[in-house]
Amino acid sequence: MLFRPITIKRWLLAATVLPAMLATAQPATDTVAEPPKNQFDVSLQFMTRGETRYGGLPAADPSSDSDSGDKVASSNFIMARTRLPINFKRDWLEARVTPQHNGVWGQAGKGAFNLYEAWAKLEARNGMFAQLGRIALDYDDERIIGSDDWAMASSSHDVLRLGYEGHGHKAHAILAYNQNAEVMTSGGNYYSGGAQPYKTMQTLWYHYDVPRFPLGASLLFMNIGMQADKDNIGTLDRDKTIFQHLLGGYVKFTPKHWSVSASYYHQFGHNETNMKIDAWMASGKATFKPTATYDITAGFDYLSGDKYFAVPTEGAIGMTRHEVVRGFSTVYGSHHKFYGAMDFFYVSTYFFGFTPGLQNAYIGGSYRPINGLNLSTSYHYFATATKLEDMGQTLGHEWEFQARYALTRDVAFAAGVSLMWGTDTMERLKRSGNENSLRWGWLAININPRIFSIKW
């Protein structure tokens, strides 16, 4: 017999010794590698936009011999913005610094250099967080608080932001106090001409997303402290801070193929001259998207305006002394998104600051024929909210056409053309010269690569 049967004793010996030998002979490969705890990224944004404008020249001084009021204004220029976002993230800590340069090609002084963002954020596992520094704030549809990315400089705020996010709830508290310098003399608390348009600001924002239902809603309260106007304070203290308030909400419903949103905000308190404020705005928007190829949008905005103004064709605006400010202010929103691409309203002001409010009815759509290409158009009808004494309320009609193409993930092109047909009311309120037909076109390139990234 060539093979002897294996006894139970030998089986037990093999079962004990062999696994130990294999474990000793082979390296340990089943240890789970610990995931990286730190991430460091550096990106670059290089955006250049050329614009051409025709029309809209302010009327010449009637007492001047110049005939510039009879000429049509036109201008061409190229603007550029360069940002270098630097971001660090750990499981509980995040920090970002974004140096920024913006200006016009050939500008005297070669543009402006500043810090667009510079903040640190601490996060707890239960959803609480604290963020401190210069922060680009964006809330809801950006109508009231937004970074306004269309503007080359954009907007950011020096604030402390505390909050909680989790289980469908988001609650933020934003606190700011601004000064021009460390001044210890009399009047050291006077704030004028600083980087921010307000002296103090406290904001509460709450958002809730309904579980398993396409509905989200937000509430917003702002308490904005403005420095008393030194030329109109009367018996007020020079350092006095006057407060105005904003309260309202935003709701968005997104069932299949639809997106419907609405908002309402009310302003009250007092302005810098201590006049009472009582103003409001409401908006509604609906988008129908039956396929991924195209969509159709329609909406309406109403912003209240001041009353009882007489607007002469020349000279200063004759106005009744108001006791209440009824013109709604869009404060710190991304204005370019809402009231026409030509920015006639809430970016540029009316002649001598007249604020008749605004009605903006619009309809439009977009079409995506190929991957990466988006073509869109829209029509706006503009009218004042205030009834004027000797003019109609219609301000004008604006057509917009835009095209955007993403060449790669890091490179995108965009172009647009807008046409405005203003009325006599628009010409008198804006003092836009003798041409009611205004044209504007632009072409932009946005290069935004991540140039360095490491995890450890």
- And the tokens for 356? 């008749």
B/e letters for 54-78, b = 16+ CB within 10 Å, e = fewer, are bbbbebbeeeeeeeeeeeeeeeeee
User: What is the predicted pLDDT for the residue at 1?
Assistant: 43
End-to-end CA distance of the chain: 63
User: What is the predicted pLDDT for the residue at 67?
Assistant: 47
- And the tokens for 338? 């809402």
Tell me: pLDDT of 360 over 80: yes
How far is the C-alpha of 81 from the C-alpha of 64, rounded, in Å? 38
Q: Select the more confidently predicted residue: 421 or 70.
A: 421
Q: Select the more confidently predicted residue: 335 or 236.
A: 335
pTM of the model: 0.87
Q: What is the mean pLDDT of residues 413-430?
A: 90
Tell me: pLDDT of 237 over 70: no
Q: pLDDT digit string (tens) for 295-320?
A: 999 999 999 998 866 565 555 554 55
Tell me: pLDDT of 428 over 90: no
User: What is the predicted pLDDT for the residue at 346?
Assistant: 87
Q: pLDDT digit string (tens) for 107-132?
A: 998 899 999 999 999 999 999 999 99
Burial class (CB in 10 A: 0-12, 13-18, 19+), 306: buried
How far is the C-alpha of 185 from the C-alpha of 195, rounded, in Å? 21
User: What is the predicted pLDDT for the residue at 448?
Assistant: 97
- And the tokens for 62? 């009637």
- And the tokens for 438? 């205004």
User: What is the predicted pLDDT for the residue at 391?
Assistant: 85
Q: What is the mean pLDDT of residues 40-58?
A: 89
Tell me the CATH number of domain 110-439, given options 3.40.50.880, 3.30.40.10, 2.40.160.100, 3.40.640.10: 2.40.160.100
Tell me: pLDDT of 236 over 90: no
Position 60 confidence tier, pLDDT thresholds 50, 70, 90: very low
Name the residue ranges covered by the structural domains of the chain: 110-439
- And the tokens for 276? 């009472």
Q: Select the more confidently predicted residue: 373 or 424.
A: 373
- The dihedral region occupied by 257, where left means phi > 0, alpha psi between -120 and 50, and beta the remainder, is left
Q: pLDDT digit string (tens) for 126-168?
A: 999 999 999 999 999 999 999 999 999 999 999 999 999 999 9
- Determine the 3-state secondary structure of 449 from DSSP: coil
Q: pLDDT digit string (tens) for 361-401?
A: 999 999 999 999 999 999 999 999 998 887 899 999 999 99
Q: What is the mean pLDDT of residues 61-87?
A: 75
